[in-house]
Amino acid sequence: MKRIAIFKYFLQVFLSMSLLSACNYLEVIPPEQANLDDTMKDANAVRNFLYSCYNGVENTITMDNPSVDETTNSIELNSGLQRLSYNQLSSSAKDYGCWDNAYNAIGQCHLFLQQLEKSTPLGVDEAMKTQYRAEVNFLIAYYHFRLLVDYGPIPIIDHFMSMATPVSEIPGRSHFDYVVDFICKKCDEAAADLPAYRTTSEWGRATSSICYALKARLLLYAASDLWNGGFPYKDWKNKTYETPGYGKELVSNSYEPEKWRRALKACDYALKWAEDNGGNKLLLVDNMPSRVANLKDPYIPENSDEDFVAHVKLMSLVLQSTPDEGNFEYLWGIVPYVAIGFWSPLPLNIIERNGSWVSGYSQMAPTLYTIEHFYTKNGKLPENDEKFVDKSDWLKSMCRS
């Protein structure tokens, strides 16, 4: 009996210690999880956060623009691209375009600015903060530009808005011209604190040259007929939201020549700035010719001019070469989509100079208007160039039987 009592005593002590250990184990604090403050911990973390603001650039590239006539898509596809190019989209912004991606990117940019202002990251001084602010402000301008191109008048988001923001506090569409001025101001402010060019390790990040080029392109777009008195729906207005200085109006219905003068001034300035400060040139130089020599000769009907053939080959490298390779025409290189499912290759639709057939992509096609207005090597429109193929032969098939 005594042995049994002693055994029970030790068993009780053991169980008590086990329960105590279990409780202590359950009370252990789990490893700390990353939070928003960690994004501003040091210089490396800040750069990673900054680069995340650039992610939206590729995600907001749309393959077509409803406001231009350069390309169109096969109507048989019945895709978002086709409906966009034929002006057949529904009223839903989510049907096609960059709406969600662009506004998400804008929110990321404002979050970065908010965190940067209240943080003192290790290894980041005020000069670096100033440049980071400028980069992100340029991106905010760029994302609004992408939205403006796809949708016309849009809501301007000029500060951080949490996901819990009531719908009633989200701004409505602003007047087209008001959005244009907002983007231009952002570009000018950002350009003041950005370098004119970047070295290889920073290629793709914002520069003042890019800022001025984006501004010039925007103003040229704003001066065009669609947004300069020629918008087809004259009574398109907001129902409740009012743009400061414009009321409920969304598009100006009167033609303003000054918009063209403003665009010309911006284009001249952007070109001069890029050439004088950004190291850009409208010429491919250095070791580009050596790369051209390794390309196959393209098939050019009824043309045996070797210099012209060489130039065609040279221009084929523009979309795939960098400043390090002698291409100083690029202001901002963006990796194009190369693996989109709806691009389907047609078999044997291009003839190389050596007579062999190769394949190409068939989703998008230039319009006849674009082809007829593409200048010949003699610097003339095809119909005005007496040395070009006669107009009566333009629509004749050149494919082999």
pLDDT tens-digit readout, 181-205: 999 999 999 999 999 998 878 888 9
Q: Residue 126: pLDDT above 50? A: yes
What secondary structure does DSSP assign to 179-206, as a single string?
Answer: HHHHHHHHHHHHHTTS-S---GGGTTS-
pLDDT at 340 over 50: no
**What residues have CB less than 8 Å from 44, skipping those under 6 apart?**
123
Q: 43 with 49: CB under 8 angstroms?
A: no
Burial of 398 by CB count in 10 Å (0-12 exposed, 13-18 middle, 19+ buried)? exposed
Give the pTM.
0.75
Mean predicted confidence (pLDDT) in 279-290 = 71
The contacts of residue 234 (CB under 8 Å, 6+ apart) are 253
Helix (H, G, I), strand (E, B) or coil at 256: coil
Banded model confidence at residue 25, pLDDT cuts 50, 70, 90 = very low
Angle ∠(252,253,254) on CA atoms, nearest 5: 95
Asked whether 223 and 260 are in contact (CB, 8 A), the reply is yes
Comparing C-alpha atoms, which of 224, 241, 221, 226 is closest to residue 180? Answer: 221
Cα(first)–Cα(last) distance of the chain, in Å?
110
Range among 31-40, 324-333, 340-349 rated most confident: 324-333
Cβ atoms 82, 74 nearer than 8 A: yes
In the predicted structure, residue 358 carries a pLDDT above the cut 70: no
For residue 80, name the pLDDT band (cuts at 50, 70, 90).
Answer: low
Nearest 5 degrees, angle CA 383-CA 387-CA 393? Answer: 60
Assign 74 a pLDDT band (cuts: 50, 70, 90): low
Q: Of 147-161, 221-235, 311-325, 356-370, which range is least confident?
A: 356-370
Report residue 336's pLDDT band, with 50, 70 and 90 as the boundaries.
very low
The residue among 340 and 332 whose pLDDT is bigger is 332
| Domains of the chain listed by start with CATH number | 36-62+97-277 (1.25.40.390), 345-393 (no CATH)
Between residues 164 and 1, the one the model is more confident about: 164
